[in-house]
Copies of this chain bind each other. A is one copy, B any other.
Amino acid sequence: MKIALGQINPIVGDISGNSAKIIDLIEKARHEKADLVVFPELCVTGYPPEDLVLKPKFIAENLAAVERIVKSTKDIAVYFGFVNLAKDNLYNAGAFAENGKAKEVYHKMNLPNYAVFDEKRYFKEGTKGSVVNYKGTKIGLGICEDIWVEQGPYREEVKRGAGIILNINASPYHIGKVKEREALLKARAKKNKAFFVYVNLVGGQDELVFDGGSMVIDPKGNLIAACDQYREELLFVDIEKDRLTDWRWLDEPEEIYRALVLCVRDYVGKNGFSDVLIGVSGGIDSALTLAIAADALGREHVHAIFMPSDFTAEQSRRDSQELCANLKVELAEIPIKDIFARYLDALMPHFKGKPANVAEENLQARIRGNFLMALSNKFGWLVLSTGNKSELSTGYCTLYGDMAGGFVVLKDVPKTLVYRLSDWRNRDKEVIPKAIIKRPPTAELKPNQLDQDTLPPYEILDPIMRAYVEENMSVKEIVASGFEAKVVEKVAALIDHSEYKRRQAPPGPRITGRSFGKDWRVPITNRFNEL
């Protein structure tokens, strides 16, 4: 049997565009004499459609699109995801259609309602597996989470004689996820002695990155077909004949870097923007953000601005210029010194002689935020902000200042990983100047300021942050794993007390098992004491 894997990048809510793309690929697959073409979970609506599915008009349009798709299946079969409506209940559904007719509709049985998922908010669970007979072969149907569950429908379907299991997905990326999926599918295929055809979405949707990497595993547990990560593909596989040798998924720094590139490109493009604006400081976060943006959008769509103050070192200007020259990105400069002085004059009578504190520091960041937003409003450029996960965890960032913007590229990237990604981007030639990488991190908001005056060194901070945020470990457990109690307590307190800032942060790509997005639902008003 010749199966086509339709690894597509739909846009949430663009039902007519998504269904036109699906119909077009069905036509291409028929032309290539495929027997069956498989598209991802909820590919008609895009994933996750969130509260849009509560709109009856949205459901009706999605059902009308399903009819069009089903009608387009002449001399070919298709299995694809949509939202079904039956007896006033919504289902995360898959339709198997053949020769213009829907042969079977499967309702997802295992609805994830943890981490970034809210499927029980919208959908009712299906109650049974589905097996279709097609060209003499029994094919079992399933959707995403179904395959992760030990008692998933594939077991029942295999018992009913299915030799092929189709599993369609909207499986969000996190570091190493594709290898986890491969290992799971190999185990399932071997144990159940069936082909497992796994088709995933690709593309960015707000904070989520869908990394593609669709694949087919044979009943012996061999990977016999694999789609690229991070791009649309219609891949044909003759499951009885085709074999795959030497397949390699992307390795870690590249895997992450390309997830960020895709998410930036899709957030910008799907929201109707062409150009972005980035405030470059001479630091590594804005340098990496600029490189990712240039790779995502093309350097001519990226605008950089340098906004020095009295506390800005001459090195910051030089390094920013070199960075922009390397990337061939246009660099403008607006000094903030005068305006800062005016603010201080205006505030003097109100500050009543109080000593300088974070107020003066934040003010500088906010003046920069104002310039970025003014240019954004004037030219329609989306501002990419440049904070990282270490900063956002600990609150080492300024609301409406460096946090201002439409998208934070490094929102889920800890500082130590910022360095790894920068080194990787420099692998062939120096794009991010070495001087930027070598220089000790500084916010340059007061004289001789270093991040390390306020925060533990990032090599210590980051693993503690990861343990606390991503692994949900307690302070006690983290200390027991080998960190100094005082440091762990400090980091945990910083994280706990910064929730109000995170609540107003722009969205940004999720690349870990727990980002500060839908998978982090922590009250602002919260007296729980970790210590």
Contacts and interface: CB of A to CB of B under 8 A. Distances in A.
A503 B518 CA distance: 12
A362 B374 contact: yes
A527 B14 contact: yes
A206 B499 CA distance: 12
A57 B476 contact: yes
A504 B334 CA distance: 26
A341 to B, nearest CB: 9
A207 B399 CA distance: 20
A350 B375 contact: yes
B14 A528 contact: yes
Contact of A527 (B270, B358, B476): B270
Contacts of A121: 113-114, 118, 521
Nearest to A354: B378
A51 interface: yes
B120 A527 contact: no
Contact of A52 (B11, B357, B406, B523): B523
B370 A56 contact: no
Contacts of A507: 503, 524
B267 A525 contact: yes
A526 interface: yes
Contact of A346 (B11, B350, B371, B522): B371
Interface string A317-346: 000000000000000101100110011001
Contacts of A369: 366, 400
Shortest 4 CB-CB contacts between residues of A and residues of B: A13-B528, A359-B377, A14-B527, A400-B400
28 contacts: A11-B525, A13-B527, A17-B527, A50-B521, A51-B520, A51-B522, A52-B522, A52-B523, A113-B113, A113-B120, A118-B118, A120-B120, A204-B525, A270-B527, A335-B346, A339-B339, A339-B342, A343-B374, A347-B371, A351-B378, A359-B376, A362-B373, A363-B377, A366-B373, A367-B370, A400-B400, A504-B505, A504-B506
